Amino acid sequence: MKIEKSIIINKNSRLVFDYLKMTRNQDNFSVWNMTDPNMKKSYEGIDGKVGFKYSWDSILKNVGAGEQEIAAIDDGKSIDYTIRFSRPMQNTGKTRFRITSLGIDNTSVAWTFDSPSRFPMSLFSPIFKRMLGKDIETGLHNLKIILEK
């Protein structure tokens, strides 16, 4: 299952990249991070560097538990993550922010989520894609509002 959504942000690409590479900033725009204000969070490593891990644990089923690790950074261009879900189901996925300068103060941000989908869950892929796609679009819209202030 692969989902990609993008948005244009009226800010310099360096500013956008530097904000996105700090994983903790996802608390400000990601729908999933904001769903449960009482979820337990822990961090390991240096935020904004390869190897940084953010772990979460929520009693809410639609949030669950897992960890996200910065897998690769291409300075100014992209940040890749590995996401390991432990609850409500075990799975490993990948997500990426791709940042593209469109001019001095215009930047395209593409957010990709890629995860294997095994039978019988694969039968629900169209529903999951629609739901996750909407959450990604909302997160990108939140990001745009924050960065354009």
pTM of the model: 0.88
Low-confidence residues of the chain: pLDDT under 70 = 116-129
Q: Among 54, 63, 57, 58, which residue's Cα sits nearest to residue 23?
A: 54
Give the per-residue pLDDT at 1: 75
The rounded distance, in Å, linking the Cα atoms of 23 and 52 is 8
Residue 131's pLDDT is: 74
Structure tokens at 45: 């490593």
CATH numbers and ranges of domains, the chain: 2-147 (3.30.530.20)
Is residue 100 within 8 A of residue 13, CB to CB? The reply is: yes
The pLDDT of residue 32: 87
pLDDT at 115 (0 to 100): 75
Cα distance between residue 18 and residue 94, in whole Å:
20
CA separation for the pair 20, 24 (Å, rounded): 9
